[in-house]
Amino acid sequence: GIQVEQSPPDLILQEGANSTLRCNFSDSVNNLQWFHQNPWGQLINLFYIPSGTKQNGRLSATTVATERYSLLYISSSQTTDSGVYFCAGESNSNSGYALNFGKGTSLLVTP
Amino acid sequence: DAGITQSPRYKITETGRQVTLMCHQTWSHSYMFWYRQDLGHGLRLIYYSAAADITDKGEVPDGYVVSRSKTENFPLTLESATRSQTSVYFCAILKGDNEQYFGPGTRLTVT
């Protein structure tokens, strides 16, 4: 399967700060998604973004499919943003829509 | 997502025992998936199913068996549990524009 690299692996922010998380893919991907895993372990869908830019409140995401990367922007961070952020994509091979995940960016937002 | 339930949510078992984890969806989406999450590995695909009675292996299928006699249920069985199968197991479904949604997870400990 494809390799998914996320950076940075860990991030500590003070409340109110902005940040950018990056996801690089070793090959072309379909159906790229961003997830937030909250401290209780639940995986929450943030964006389905195979290409282009989307915004949802303080979060936005951009995928440049031709260059095999995606970015997640968090603005005016809040303590509730803490958790692990994963990106995942489906390879172009016949894998039945299965997602390949990165190892995640662990974010801690302090008051 | 409230439409995906997993049971049990927590399970402790002994090495060599058979364990079945259940995944249930309240809809009738065709594709269902089982992933495991381990520290340092992110989420990895165990098995997936494209429809009732159609299943296929993912990245880490060894030691697991799946079945899908009904569209809404996708049980995962560990035939003879090993300590290396201690993990958090997530079930997922495919909805809409090929976007995956995850259940709450089952935390399994094999002693």
Q: What order do you get walking across the sheet with A59-64 strand by strand?
A: A4-7, A19-25, A69-74, A59-64, A52-56
- What integer best gives the mean pLDDT of chain B? 94
Record: contact B101-A45, CB cut-off 8 A:
yes
Residue with tokens 């998914």: A4
Best of B1, B31, B33, B37 to substitute, by most chain A Cβ atoms within 10 angstroms, is B37
Each residue's pLDDT tens digit, A29-57: 888 999 999 999 999 999 999 999 999 99
Q: Which residue of B has its CA nearest to A90?
A: B98
Q: Whole-angstrom Cα distance, residue B39 to residue B37?
A: 7
Q: CA separation (Å) from B28 to A100, B22, B34, B44, B66?
A: 24, 16, 17, 24, 18
For B73, which DSSP code?
B
Residues of B with a Cβ under 8 Å from any A Cβ are 31, 33, 35, 40-45, 48, 50, 56, 58-59, 88, 90, 94, 96-102, 104-105, 107
Nearest to B21 by CA among B34, B38, B4, B2: B34
Identify the pLDDT of residue B78: 98
Question: Token digits for A45?
Answer: 């869908």
A41: nearest CB among B42, B97, B105: B105
Each residue's pLDDT tens digit, B11-23: 999 999 999 999 9
Q: Which residue of A has its CA nearest to B46?
A: A98
Which of A50-64, A66-80, A85-99 has the lowest average pLDDT? A85-99
What is the interface size between A and B, counted as CB pairs within 8 Å? 58
* A35 contacts on B by Cβ (under 8 Å): 102
Identify the pLDDT of residue A94: 62
